[in-house]
Chain A
Amino acid sequence: MNFFNEFPSLGRRDLMELRRTIDNGFRDFSREYGEALENFFNPLLQFLIWLEKLMITAPWPIIILVIAFFAWMGSRSKVIVIGSALCFLAIGYLGMWKDTMSTLAIISAATLICIGIGIPIGILMSRSDRIQRIITPILDVMQTIPSFVYLIPVVMLLGIGKVPGLLAVCIYALPPIVRLTNLGIRLVDKEVLEAADAFGASAIQRLIGVQIPLALPNIFAGVNQTIMMALSMVVIASMIGVKGLGVPVLQAVSNQYLALGLMNGLAIVALAIIFDRVTQQLGKRLQKHQGLDN
């Protein structure tokens, strides 16, 4: 009866052995290849440093103008442009300018990387059911595994700093853009694709001329989600040495500084709302001509 009352688990010693083997294996791996990986990611690091420096050293009115410009290009809405400018003025007035710029830099870099990697993967997934079956569970793991857990191997491999932080953000923020690119392309009207085929379009012509343009609203929803997730990852990433708004939040948590925590938290919220509204409006504008029944 003992069998049923006590779960037949691996013995304590065996378990320890198993964990130790994995840990040592990974440690050896990181000793062996850590430097090579660091070198591999060096250009990324340089880019990040350059971007952050650029945004911090640029005169603040120019940054606000640039942000207002992007907001206008994306949303074509005066309310959103003015709102964005006011938010940034308030952030600067409350002394969070530098941290906000750091956060903005890492978010921009992470978003660019996610778009650059995510859209091609999404396209691949949309083209083959088998690839979709392989990638979907990987995305599930990436989205659901507690982010603290995958911080460990990242830190073991690359130590503490901007690049591991950026990687952590990217791992967390990548799935939505992959999923929505895949979905968007799969949702393109079969009849329209048939028309493209009937006129002799090649696979590339069909992809670039028909599938991607028609999937754009969904792809943009993916970009939007990716940015949101990247922003929410900022605080956690600050645990492994990413500068920005997450650092004061972390400080506030460990020292019970309510005001500091709130202010920086709200600054993150402000960024999130600006990004969200701008990209959503952009998505809506792209959808304008397709909205009516067809």
Chain B
Amino acid sequence: MGDTFISIRHLYKIFGRDPESAMNRVRKGMEKNELLELTGHVLGLSDINLEMEQNKVQVVMGLSGSGKSTLIRLLNRLIEPTAGEVLIDGADVLAMDAKQLRELRRQKMSMVFQRFALFPHRTVLENTGYGLEIQGANQKIIKKRAIRWIERVGLSGYENYYPAQLSGGMQQRVGLARALSTDAEILLMDEAFSALDPLIRTEMQDILLDLQEELQKTIVFITHDLDEALRIGDNIAILRDGQIIQTDNPQNILMNPVDTYVADFMKDINRARVLRVDTIMNPLDSDANDGPSLPSSTTLEQALQVFAENSSNHIIIVNRKGEKIGKLTLEDLIMGMKRPTIEKIKEDLSSPDSFKPITTASRNIN
């Protein structure tokens, strides 16, 4: 596990004429609906607590109106929070003056936008170099680095095109290159791929995962698309009506949705393709510890294939070092595919310790 890099504590955002007094009411326990009715203020985000690890992808998922785009803008204060704390690498973002904030935005975090937000009057090269230009770097360095990142996102040859001359996918590659070119440690991605059609979206996700493998940035990724969240996220926070209702790694969210809302989300997910064998495996027992072995990151679908091709009634799971860490029978596998039912969730809710973030042992080993 990495260190906490971005830490959000008791963060609130209230929209309206006098957020301060509305905040006082909220502190005294007023609910969102009551606040809207009585004062006309909208409680955009309520008591957000989130610890984001360094070099990991934190996905914030929610439907439209859940406050996810507001949340990401509170991190670099494109929107001013009403109350709470945002610590980035130990520094209190809300205490920063205008100059410190500019430095933070220039050096430490960059952003990719849903509708690209490229500068229409600048070429691809000039767009990519924008962050460096703002930092005051010299033209040679700007050009050199911009060209490198344009190449890295696969847009070589388009340096002198204008955004309007490019397709949506290409424009967002420019958006990505622009964000990467400042070498900021933190990448804020606000529904970065949502405006793209599905094929291009998958392609962009691949590019991002590929880059992340190499760059190891701390990424905050906002999306409304669960497939995308499961694919990209090391950790997922689910936002509803301005509140975080569950935070966990993708496997645990699939296995233990915290309520019916989350479970509903998971309904259409192909579990076999997302769940990993180490999530549902059983501990090794003394007998029968041989048989086909599979790496822990294998998906259930891939494991099923192995069962189909072998006569063995179980498979052995190994970690990256090749050590045996668990085993899985065909029956386990079939049970694993089963969605948690509402009854199961209710039962879970009633048991006191089910709410703790569960971290599967095998993930620690990884």
**Chain A positions near chain B (C-beta within 8 angstroms):** 189, 191-192, 194-202, 205, 209-210, 213-214, 289-294
If A198-B76, A199-B131, A199-B182 touch, whether A192 touches B119 (CB-CB below 8 Å) is yes
Q: How far is the CA of A198 from the CA of B104 in the complex (A)?
A: 10
Q: Out of B117, B164, B182, name the residue touching A293 (CB < 8 Å).
A: B164
Q: How far is the CA of A52 from the CA of B243 in the complex (A)?
A: 71
Known: A196-B119, A197-B105, A210-B119; 4 extra A-B contacts, CB below 8 A, are: A197-B78, A199-B111, A214-B120, A292-B165
Which residue on A lies nearest to B114, using beta carbons? Answer: A191
Q: How far is the CA of A290 from the CA of B120 in the complex (A)?
A: 6
B134 touching A201 by the CB < 8 A rule?
Answer: yes
If A201-B134, A289-B162, A292-B164 touch, whether A195 touches B117 (CB-CB below 8 Å) is yes
Which residue on B lies nearest to A212, using beta carbons? Answer: B121
Interchain pairs with CB closer than 8 A, number:
75
List, in ascending order, chain B residues with CB within 8 A of A292's CB.
164-165
**B115 interface contact, C-beta 8 A:** yes
Closest chain-B Cβ to A67's Cβ sits at a distance in Å of 29
**B267 interface contact, C-beta 8 A:** no
Number of interface residues of B (CB under 8 A): 30
Closest chain-A Cβ to B224's Cβ sits at a distance in Å of 18
Q: Mark B117-155, 1 if CB is under 8 A from A, else 0.
A: 111110000000011011100000000000000000000
Closest chain-A Cβ to B226's Cβ sits at a distance in Å of 26
Closest chain-A Cβ to B39's Cβ sits at a distance in Å of 24
Q: How far is the CA of A179 from the CA of B251 in the complex (A)?
A: 58
List, in ascending order, chain A residues with CB within 8 A of B104's CB.
200
List, in ascending order, chain B residues with CB within 8 A of A293's CB.
164
B117 touching A191 by the CB < 8 A rule?
Answer: yes
A200 touching B106 by the CB < 8 A rule?
Answer: yes
Q: Out of A192, A198, A213, name the residue touching B111 (CB < 8 Å).
A: A198
Which of B103, B113, B117, B165: most chain A Cβ within 10 A?
A: B117
Q: How far is the CA of A63 from the CA of B64 in the complex (A)?
A: 63
Which of A200, A205, A210, A214: most chain B Cβ within 10 A?
A: A200
Q: How far is the CA of A294 from the CA of B195 in the complex (A)?
A: 12
**B110 interface contact, C-beta 8 A:** yes
B113 touching A191 by the CB < 8 A rule?
Answer: yes
If A291-B164, A293-B164, A294-B164 touch, whether A194 touches B113 (CB-CB below 8 Å) is yes
Q: How far is the CA of A121 from the CA of B78 in the complex (A)?
A: 27
A198 touching B164 by the CB < 8 A rule?
Answer: no
B110 touching A214 by the CB < 8 A rule?
Answer: no
List, in ascending order, chain A residues with CB within 8 A of B188's CB.
198
Which residue on B lies nearest to A217, using beta carbons? Answer: B121
A199 touching B106 by the CB < 8 A rule?
Answer: yes
Q: Mark B301-345, 1 if CB is under 8 A from A, else 0.
A: 000000000000000000000000000000000000000000000
**B102 interface contact, C-beta 8 A:** yes
Between A and B, 8 residue pairs with Cβ closer than 8 Å are: A196-B130, A198-B105, A199-B130, A199-B131, A200-B104, A200-B106, A201-B134, A293-B164
Q: Mark B41-78, 1 if CB is under 8 A from A, else 0.
A: 00000000000000000000000000000000000101
B75-89 contacts to A (CB < 8 Å): 76, 78
**B295 interface contact, C-beta 8 A:** no
A200 touching B134 by the CB < 8 A rule?
Answer: yes
Closest chain-A Cβ to B250's Cβ sits at a distance in Å of 28
Q: How far is the CA of A214 from the CA of B117 in the complex (A)?
A: 13
A195 touching B119 by the CB < 8 A rule?
Answer: yes
List, in ascending order, chain A residues with CB within 8 A of B107's CB.
200
A213 touching B121 by the CB < 8 A rule?
Answer: yes
* 9 closest Cβ pairs, A-B complex: A200-B106, A200-B105, A292-B164, A195-B117, A198-B111, A289-B162, A191-B117, A200-B102, A290-B120
Which residue on A lies nearest to B104, using beta carbons? Answer: A200
Closest chain-B Cβ to A218's Cβ sits at a distance in Å of 13
List, in ascending order, chain A residues with CB within 8 A of B120's CB.
189, 192, 214, 289-290, 294
A198 touching B78 by the CB < 8 A rule?
Answer: yes
B110 touching A198 by the CB < 8 A rule?
Answer: yes
List, in ascending order, chain B residues with CB within 8 A of A199's CB.
105-106, 110-111, 130-131, 134, 178, 182
